[in-house]
Amino acid sequence: MSIFIDAKTCVLVQGITGSEGAFWTKHMKDLGTAVVAGVTPGKNGQSVEGIRVYDTVKQAVIETGAEASVLFVPPRFARDAIFEALDAGIRKVVVTADGIPVHDAMEIRAAALALDAKVIGGNTTGVITPGVAMMGFLPYWIDRVYKPGRVGVMTRSGSLTNEATAMMVAAGYGVSSLIGIGGDAVPLTRFAEMLPLFQADPATDAVLLIGELGGTMEEEVAEALEAGIFTKPLVAFVAGRNAPEGKKMGHAGAIVSGGKGTVKGKAAALRAAGALVADKPSQIGALFETVFPIKK
């Protein structure tokens, strides 16, 4: 079972005729994703990787039954593309664009919440159910890092996710569903909003949280643990402990303000709520071993 995408999820690609859209569409198909349509205005009737291209999302949904969308469009066009998908009835959207204007992101998030839609991103590498389906641009050698298993993964990072998940897999554990929340300043979906889905998923026994300095999403996870919203084991790694104070680091969302958002504070909040927190990625496997020992 997956919390976002499975082999039956009909996916459309907005921006499919661009170089990135076409390249990653091929890899999504190769991984088993049911990509049923592409959308690029003015390109109706064209084909990419054997997939029909439409002018509008509404037309694609009517003719193919598409129910999820992944966007390969520039950040300044993301708002209109997402609204088009939502207006067409799509409730699962993955947004790869990095640097969506803050006001646009706030409008997108408000619309998604009002419609009970899950819009993942911006600045995300995507989502994956290993061995089943993917939306986004996770590496095409992904099968060497993301093995099927029973640990859900939520992350703000791209490259760090590869390292941290590889450490977990090397210890003998695998991934049920991975959600790349993304690193933009305004996440369109937050960590704590995904926890009830992992809690309800019978294929997920625990969750790995890969966070970073800045923002309050990790503290919100701690609050959810304390409130009993999520009761399964949670292992966390929060990146950025060696970041110089007062300097902007990495993602747009890596902002410390008002004394909140520090790695030390996040780690303390998560530990106080019952999570296991790794000081470095190499400790992740050992922490899972304390929760779910693997029979050797």
Which residues are part of the catalytic machinery?
251
Q: What is the DSSP letter of 292?
A: S
With b for 16 or more beta-carbon neighbours within 10 A and e for fewer, the 273-289 pattern comes to bebbbbeebeebbebbe
With b for 16 or more beta-carbon neighbours within 10 A and e for fewer, the 214-248 pattern comes to bbbbbbbbbebbeeeebebbbbbbbbbeebeeeee
Instruction: Give the CA dihedral 11, 105, 123, 232, nearest 10 degrees.
Output: -80
Strand segments, DSSP code E, in 83-233 are 92-95, 118-120, 126-129, 133-136, 148-155, 175-180, 206-212
Determine the Cα–Cα distance for residues 33 and 54; give it in Å rounded to an integer. 19
Tell me if 66 sits within 8 A of 38, measured CB to CB.
no
**What are the φ and ψ backbone dihedral angles of 229, each rounded to 5 degrees?**
-70, -35
Tokens of 158: 């791209």
Please, which residues have CB within 8 angstroms of residue 5's CB and are 6 or more apart in sequence? 11, 33, 68, 92, 127, 128, 129, 132, 133, 134, 135, 177
